[in-house]
Amino acid sequence: MENLYEGGPMGLSGEDISRMTGWVRNEQDLASIKSWAGDDFEFFLVSIFRLLNNVVGGDIQNQQHWMYSGNHQFDGQVPVKMMETREGFSIVMKYLSRMPQDI
pLDDT digits (tens, 9 = 90+) for 33-65: 778 877 777 787 778 888 888 888 778 788 888
Report pTM.
Answer: 0.69
- Where do the H-state alpha helices sit in the chain? 14-21, 27-37, 41-56, 60-68, 79-82, 86-98
Mean pLDDT of the residues in the chain: 75
Domain map (residue ranges) of the chain: 9-98
Work out the pLDDT band at 19, boundaries 50, 70, 90.
low
First to last CA, the chain: 31
- Do residues 41 and 33 lie in contact, with contact meaning Cβ atoms separated by under 8 Å? yes
Whole-number CA gyration radius for the chain: 13
